Amino acid sequence: MAIELKDVTKWYQSGDVKTTALKHVDLTIKDGAFVVVLGPSGSGKSTLLNVMSGLDTLSEGRITIGDDVISEMSSKQLTLFRRKHLGFVFQQYNLLQTLTVKENVDIGAHIAQTPLSSEDVLERVQLQAHMDKYPFQLSGGEQQRVSIARALVKQPKILFCDEPTGALDETTAKEVLGLLQRLNETYGTTVLLITHNQSIAELADCVVKLNSGEVVDVVDQKDKRRAEDIHW
């Protein structure tokens, strides 16, 4: 699914103070692309992810995903849209601590129209041996793979990843990035990954550079690298 942002602006009002987080952003993300949004802290990366995924509303502008104008959807419509088309991976994994690895994936499968088998997905992320363990019994990398499996099981058209390797060491981070890369290639899932780590941008088909809420550059990369080949 392609994503199109037209003149997107987002500001926050706190008393008399108005803070603009995104300024007139125009951006098109192709269907099946692996996109990295790069920028320093406070550049508006997370705000961009929030509005693109329907987690937050716009102040101005229009966002279209596929044929749907999500910026005009109600909260309920957005919920159903996320349920049907979108997947999320976060820096802090956000697993349900009382559920086992498999049950965490089942939580994703439960609301999908055509879910994959949880066991198959866990096998794909190489966690089949840990299915009955609880999140706290896993390493950080393993927990992040569970959260990817939870997103993947729904067969999302777009996967939004907010600093997915922010809490991982380099080796583990590369494993997780490699996994995201393979998913993008195997299933054609559009991946939009937010990071401040420039090295990760080398994986992308397209790099969007953000600064002070404005898109300062969009770079299409023909010679992207494999996750195992990058260093930071």
Partner 1 sequence: MFSKHVLRTFKKKWSTLLLLGVIIFLSSFIYTVISSAVNGLSGPAERFFEETRQEDVSISVLPFLDSEWDACIPDDVATMEALYLRDRACHRRLIDLQVSLFEHGFDDIAFEARLYKDLQIRLDDSRHSLRVFKDTQRINRALIVDGEKPTADDEIAIGALYAENNGLTLNDTLDVMGETYTITGFVLFPDYNLPIIDHPFLFDSRYQALGLMDEAAFDALPLAPAYSIAGVFLSDEAKTRFVDDFETYELFHYATYILTENNIRSGAIYGEIAGSTAMGVFLSVMIALIGIIIVGMVMSKTLNKERGAIGVLKALGVKDAEIRTPYLVFLAVFTLAFLTAGYVVGFAFAPAMRDLFLTFYLLPEDAIPFSAVDVAVAIVVPFVVIMGLSWWIIARLLAEDAFHLLRPKLAEVKPARFKRMQALFEKFGVLTRFQLKQLVRSPAKVAAYVIGIFLAIYAVFLGFSMLDVFERTLPAYYDSIDVKETGFCDPLAPCDATGGEGVIQLDVFVDDERALLIGLDADTQRHPLEDRRGRDLRERLSEGLVISKSFQDLTNVRVGDVLRVEFLDTRFEREVVAVADVYPGAYVFTEREALALEIGADADYFNVVYASEALDEADFVKVLRTDVILEQTAMMNDLVQVMMYVIIGGAFLIGVIVIYILSVLSVEEQFYNISLLKVVGYENAEIHTMMLGGYLKLNALVFLLSVPLGFVSTMVLKRIFIDVYDYMMPLRLLWWHILLTLAMFIATYVLGNLRAKRSVDTVSLQEALKVYQG
Residues lying near partner 1 in the complex (CB under 8 A)? 46, 50, 53, 55-56, 76, 79-80, 82-84, 86, 88, 90, 92-94, 96-99, 103, 106-108, 110-111, 134-137, 150, 154, 162
CB of 176 to partner 1, least distance (A): 17
CB of 94 to partner 1, least distance (A): 5
Question: Which CB sits closer to partner 1, 35 or 49?
Answer: 49
CB of 99 to partner 1, least distance (A): 6
Helix H or strand E encompassing 12: strand 3-14
Question: Which CB sits closer to partner 1, 138 or 176?
Answer: 138
Distance CA 218, CA 228 (A): 24
Question: Which CB sits closer to partner 1, 45 or 174?
Answer: 45
If one counts every other C-beta atom within 10 angstroms of the C-beta of residue 78, the result is 18
CB of 79 to partner 1, least distance (A): 6
Question: Which CB sits closer to partner 1, 53 or 71?
Answer: 53
Question: Three-state SS for 120?
Answer: helix
Going by C-alpha positions, the residue among 112, 8, 158, 4 that lies closest to residue 67 is 4
Distance CA 78, CA 139 (A): 33
Question: Which CB sits closer to partner 1, 80 or 219?
Answer: 80
If one counts every other C-beta atom within 10 angstroms of the C-beta of residue 171, the result is 9
CB of 72 to partner 1, least distance (A): 18
CA 56 to chain centre: 15
What residues have CB less than 8 Å from 131, skipping those under 6 apart? 100, 101, 102, 119, 122
Q: Helix 170-187 crosses helix 140-152 at what angle (to 10 degrees)?
A: 10
Distance CA 161, CA 36 (A): 9
Question: Which CB sits closer to partner 1, 4 or 56?
Answer: 56
CB of 46 to partner 1, least distance (A): 6
